[in-house]
Amino acid sequence: MVKIDLPVILFIYKRIDTTLRILEQIKQAQIKKLYIFADGAKNIEENSLIENARNKIDRFVRGMNVEKYYLDHNVGGPAAIVTGLDWVFSTEEYVLLLEDDDYPHATFFPFISELLERYVNDERVMLINGGNKGIIRQPHYSYFFDRHPLALTGLGIWKRFWKRFDAKLVQWKIPATKQRIKKTFSSAQRYLYLCSYWDMLADGTYRSWDFTLLYNLYLSGGFCINPTVNMVENIGFDNYATKTIKKNPFIHYPKAQGTTFPLSHPEEIIPVTGSDKLIQKKKFGLLPMLGKIIMKIK
């Protein structure tokens, strides 16, 4: 198999089974280089779990072109990702980011490698997303452009985007920034929902990688790429999950699906419209909210 000219950074913690499944996909893909970043234990009880996970992962990646960055103290998920990306972008121009619950289809690696290289200097495109929960389909092309990611699983990130990343939401406190980002949305409900989290992130009362990433995409004014099919599956519904340990019975969680080659590229870089309304409906419609109530009761 020909090696794929793609650097990958995998963020691990104490999961073993899901991480090894993802590493098997990475190994089979024959990527250029693997970076592994691990946050430290939160408490004494976690020390043995962290050490056990790292030992098993270290054994699995022997023989691979890999660099590791293991913290001996805990900084928390969002700060760990920021630190890890600072590290990898000291040497790379772009990277595929996977977390320990992001299971990619085998075709996702050549897919994202081709697009990272194709749009490496295009300032209109800021992020590549591996997930599509079926909210929007684009049957004519392998992917489409949008202002709104349909999921945040398996991310292609360029150094040019990271260099302007506002990790502490400093610019969110400027009224003109809020007005500019607001114009991105066709759904006032979706915008106000995100604002509530961005306010908490800006004043330091909440931490979240996903919401920080979304803010920075909107701050950039650029587009993201969404695949036509879901190419990265969330396999992290377990007791190790930070927030969601069970699946909502009224939300569809698609498996990782493959694409075909050669890729069919859109003729123009024009974003679809109205996806923010569909995202909000899928998350807060009647059935999803009913599912959340059932999950709390159980």
Find the CATH number of the domain harbouring 104.
3.90.550.10
Q: What is the domain extent for residue 117?
A: 4-297
pTM: predicted TM-score of the whole model, two decimal places: 0.92
Digit-coded pLDDT (tens) for 247-269:
655 566 789 999 999 999 999 99
Digit-coded pLDDT (tens) for 38-85:
999 999 999 999 999 999 999 999 999 999 999 999 999 999 999 999
Indicate whether 115 pLDDT > 90: yes
Percentage of residues in the chain having pLDDT higher than 70: 89
Give whole-number Cα distances, 295 to 158, 160, 169, 286, 289, in Å. 38, 41, 32, 14, 10
Decide: 144 and 220 in contact? Cβ < 8 Å. Answer: no
Digit-coded pLDDT (tens) for 4-21:
999 999 999 999 999 999
Q: How confident is the model at residue 135 (pLDDT cuts 50, 70, 90)?
A: confident
Query: What is the reported pLDDT for 243?
Result: 56
Strands, DSSP E only, in the chain?
4-12, 31-38, 66-70, 94-99, 102-104, 125-129, 143-146, 155-158, 223-227, 232-234
Query: What is the reported pLDDT for 288?
Result: 46
Buried residues in 62-98 as b, exposed as e (16+ CB within 10 A):
eeeebeeeebeebeebbebbbebbeebbeebebbbbb
- Mean of all residue pLDDT scores within the chain: 91
CA 100 to chain centre: 11
| Contacting residues for 250 by C-beta, under 8 A, at least 6 apart | 287, 288, 290, 291
Q: What is the mean pLDDT of residues 171-197?
A: 96
CB atoms within 10 A of CB 44: 7
Overall domain count for the chain: 1
